[in-house]
Amino acid sequence: MSRWLVLSSSLAFSLGIVVGGFLVLITSPVSVGQSLPTPIPTMAVHSVELPSEQVEAPNPSIERAGYVETVRVSYYQPWLGGPNCSRFVGGQCISRMASGLPWQDYVGRAVACPPEWSFGTLVILPGGEQFECLDRGGKIRYDRGYAWIDLLVTEAPVAFGTLLEVIIIP
């Protein structure tokens, strides 16, 4: 179960969740003269328990709905060779990501995800950084209830194995 906040007033309806210390709000404005299903004259805050499964966004401008999941984070750097690259020849990583795309074009934007997640799945970190699932990895799987994800980055954003609450948008 995730902890969600529902904020409502006569001017807007918002759905928010705290992710890694940040409050993420999804807001749906209400037109002047239009009332909410249950009008509330002043701002009210309600705490609501929702399942951590798919959550539909109340704002129609958001195209895809997502959910919050706690993951273990690691990172990889193919240019270093070793376990970071499956084909390292002449000091160069010549392998492609599991999606078939060249890793060089996606540094800071790609993530290796468990096979249960489709390529194209977005992973949004607590700071708002977005990564697209474009790669797989031998150790990138669910383990003890948590998915491992492997960020393709130049610098480690967190210590290896850190648990983070992220937003997953399939």
Q: Mark whether 31 and 88 lie in a shared domain.
A: no
Instruction: Note whether residue 111 is domain-resident.
Output: yes
Which range is least confidently modeled, 2-16, 75-89, 104-118, 146-160?
2-16
Between CA 69 and CA 113 the distance in angstroms is 13
Domain count, the chain: 2
Identify whether the C-beta of residue 162 lies closer than 8 Å to the C-beta of residue 73: yes
The first and second tokens of residue 123, run together, are 């992973």
85 lies in which domain range? Answer: 68-169
Q: Mark whether 9 and 42 lie in a shared domain.
A: yes
CA distances from 44 to 47, 65, 112 (A): 10, 25, 41
β-bridge pairing 22-29 and 92-93:
unpaired
Q: Mark whether 22 and 72 lie in a shared domain.
A: no
User: What is the model's pTM?
Assistant: 0.64
Does residue 13 or residue 132 have the better pLDDT? 132
Q: Mark whether 50 and 88 lie in a shared domain.
A: no
Instruction: Note whether residue 62 is domain-resident.
Output: no
Instruction: Note whether residue 63 is domain-resident.
Output: no
Q: Mark whether 76 and 136 lie in a shared domain.
A: yes
State the chain's mean pLDDT as an integer: 76
CA distances from 72 to 65, 97, 125, 150 (A): 22, 20, 12, 9
Q: Mark whether 38 and 114 lie in a shared domain.
A: no
Q: Which residue has the tokens 């895809």?
A: 64
Identify whether the C-beta of residue 14 lies closer than 8 Å to the C-beta of residue 27: yes
Q: Mark whether 23 and 73 lie in a shared domain.
A: no
Identify whether the C-beta of residue 73 lies closer than 8 Å to the C-beta of residue 157: yes
Instruction: Note whether residue 61 is domain-resident.
Output: no
